[in-house]
Structure 1
């Protein structure tokens, strides 16, 4: 190399977020039900519809495979993952492990700073519960819990929660009758806020155990019933 050419171990990265945008577009299609469990994600069709090359579509599919929304089958391509009741139950179990400790950690930090934001999110959830649209309700509910993980200060909690949330959104979007009383679900979040206000880590853990535990029992049971009815 000449004197004016710096030595490089790696080439500069392409900063174009095209693959991420395509991944979000595919995710939105899954959540909206336009792509169903088991559907093939055809690179050529998506590339044609979006007016892009197949390369960023393939990269987006790999991102969604890592997120648990797609599965790759040898010589066949990518398919929308079929999520079972057992998968959902495992997600709830993992979610509770993270969120109960995030809540406890928040009480040991400064929960008073996070509570106004949580109350604001609760108002958003109340408005959406009256609208009757499932997907925005799911996203708002998960955002409430994400705020707790974020405010806890543990970035690992937040990272794992984001992956879990993507899978749970896709799962809930498949079965719109999983939730029968949206208003009651929203108000149940007040128990978490009260526990955070107490400043007691164990109270925060118990509140989250109860909140997620009730949802886990109810939603997984409904999911299993739907699986039986659909012959899964």
Structure 2
């Protein structure tokens, strides 16, 4: 008796914007844990499931490699990246540096309207800070606050780097399987950042960023080290 083919993970795609669409689908599957850290991205299987050739799958994998979600191993192919506690600590250190620099630029020259959008995002974060809300939804709302702050700095290089760091941060928290603190507490720790930016206080803005991201750094890396041990 013939074995039935395994059910596909993905549904077929059209041709428009194919590589980006494949990359988005694979990236979501990685962050949501459907593709586990260390698992191989089989170009042939993914191409078959999506109804495309292997070429756009390969190009999508290269995009994900540049975003930090995928790693290439010579003669073996692409694998979902495994991140160590040390790499995670380095990631948060870089976030502190970039977001502090962005916050100082906001203090010195961003329009009030740009800062007001941060207050609206805190309210959105609070709205999804419930036991019923999906963890990834809460993470995305958190990252969106930081993305808006960095965009308000007016430095597109900061934004480009942050987009990569945000994906890696989301992946790491999803690997842990829980948020690093109570969602309401996480929302509230954004308030001092907002207040410092509104007051145009460089010292307070720097301190608020260092505390907010520093606490996440401490708690997440601590849980990651526990998993490694």
How far 1:95 moved relative to its partner? 0.5
Q: CA deviation at 1:122?
A: 1.0
Q: SS at 1:79's partner residue?
A: strand
Q: Provide the rounded CA distance (Å) in 2 between the counterparts of 1:31 and 1:92.
A: 18
| Secondary structure in 1 matching 2:33 | coil
Spell out the pairing of 1:136-215 with structure 2 (5 A cutoff). 136-215=137-216
**Structure 2, unaligned stretches of length 5 or more?**
1-14
- Alpha-carbon distance in structure 1 between the residues aligned to 2:141 and 2:179: 16
Q: Is structure 2 residue 63 aligned with structure 1 residue 69?
A: no
Q: What is the Cα-based RMSD across aligned positions, in Å?
A: 1.4
Q: Could you tell me whether the CA contact under 8 Å between 2:173 and 2:180 is conserved in 1? A: no
Equivalent in the alignment of 2:6: none
Structure-to-structure mapping, 1:6-25, within 5 angstroms: 16-25=16-25
Please tell me whether Structure 1 or Structure 2 has the larger radius of gyration of its CA atoms.
1
**Secondary structure of the structure 1 residue equivalent to 2:178:** helix
State the 4+ residue runs in structure 1 displaced beyond 4 angstroms. none
The residue that corresponds to 2:114 in the other structure is 114
| 1:178–1:223 CA contact under 8 A, matched in 2 | no
Aligned residue pairs, count: 214
Distance 1:192 1:111 in 2: 16
CA deviation string 1:138-190 (max 9, x = no partner): 11101100101000101111111111111111111111234241111111100
C-alpha deviation, 1:111, in angstroms: 4.9
How far does the alpha carbon of each residue in 1:39-93 deviate from its partner, in whole angstroms, 9 at most, with x for none?
A: 0000011111111111100000011111111111111111000011111101000
